[in-house]
Amino acid sequence: MHRLPGEDPVTAAPTPAAQPAPRLPVSVLTGFLGSGKTTLLQRLLHHPGMARTAVVINEFGEVGLDHLLVAKASENMVLMDSGCLCCTIRGDLVDTLRDLFLKRVRGDIPEFDRVVVETTGLADPAPIIHTLMSDPLLAARFRLDGVISTVDAVHGASQLDRQPESVKQAAVADRIVLTKTDLATPHTTLALCQRLSAINPAAPQIPAAFGEVDPKQLFDAGLYNPDTKSPDVARWLREEAYRDEQAKHHHGHDHDHGHDHHHHDHGHGDACGPDCGHDHHHHDTNRHDDHIRAFCMVVDEPIPWNNFVDFMEALIATGGENLLRIKGLLNVKESPLPVVVHGVQHMFHPPVQLQEWPGEDHRSKIVFITRDIGESVIQPMFDQFVWGAEGAA
């Protein structure tokens, strides 16, 4: 967790998410082998909505660009008929993105306004996200917009059963694209959608028959909304999705006990017990998504910033690799304005102070998507570090 020595950790170095700046949004396109990611990318490259987009892929041949080729900009770049620029990863992602940015500045290639990185051959999107967060030159020029994960509507359930990587891809996604929906039965698709909602309640599920998707449905998933030229916390956090998912699994009962920190939990076995009547497949020890927890913690009282940093550092030390995604809007004692935090596993963006509250509700809201770390672990740790003995009592 970022702590900025010698500076106010809340107000120091606000990022372009809080004020318009020329950092370029990067979307990470991931998906398990055979999930239709390549087909989706092929169709996107045809779409005129991809103009002014740079697409970074592992190999041209993997997406069959020959029939789309308009002009070769350099040995690893081609200009598509949609107007988007396609380039292959050369060396590593850092070198490729730096090279792209420099060519853009010099005018060697057409202007582009966003980047899509396709993760062929890389099951885990976290290393790419970490690269964008941790490399100082990239962080100054690019920002993570969101993670797009493809899931095969026909074979997705069995892949979730067999491959923990596919569960992680769905868990960290900002958008889930359901591919091959034209081949799957309605019952199979519905069951998969319900399962994905439990893994990741806030990610919209977008059907894509034959790989057809409007790019507008996939992009602008980050905190900064280019249409309004301002942060859009509600759209980014989607905290209400956790309440909705919780309500499904509690049969509409009110579980608010009047505490000053409420939780909307959807973690199999934490908030929803084995006798609740829902089929959680607890008999299947190979069901990897039984290890995933997705919940939102809501805190009424302002949070001391340094205490929150201590809490996050302790949580990262306890199980950083299993903190798949954390997003938060915080009311901190040291500032009248809200602070946004965002982390993937052990990596966190610097905190962002917004210029105003997005609404009348000034409570802190922290969304957790974790693996093998339930609210029963996180809540007491939060109480201990943030409130001390009095809050934990």
Q: What is the DSSP letter of 10?
A: T
φ and ψ of 9, to 5 deg: -65, -15
Question: Rounded distance, CA 147 to CA 164, Å?
Answer: 17
pLDDT at 256: 38
54-89 pLDDT tens trace: 999 887 777 777 666 666 667 788 888 888 998 988
| Arithmetic mean of pLDDT, 229-254 | 74
Question: Rounded distance, CA 307 to CA 119, Å?
Answer: 37
pLDDT at 257: 36
What are the CA-CA distances from residue 282 to residues 259, 324, 376 (Å)?
30, 22, 19
Q: Please give the radius of gyration of the chain, using alpha carbons only, rounded to the nearest integer.
A: 21
- Is pLDDT above 60 for 287? yes
Q: What structural domains does the chain harbor? A: 24-222 (3.40.50.300), 292-388 (3.30.1220.10)
DSSP three-state, residue 359:
coil
pLDDT at 212: 84
Name the residue with tokens 């017990």. 273
326-340 pLDDT tens trace: 999 999 999 999 999
Task: Provide the token pair at 257.
Answer: 């006990």
Containing H/E element for 379? helix 375-382
191-228 pLDDT tens trace: 999 999 999 999 999 998 777 899 999 999 888 887 77
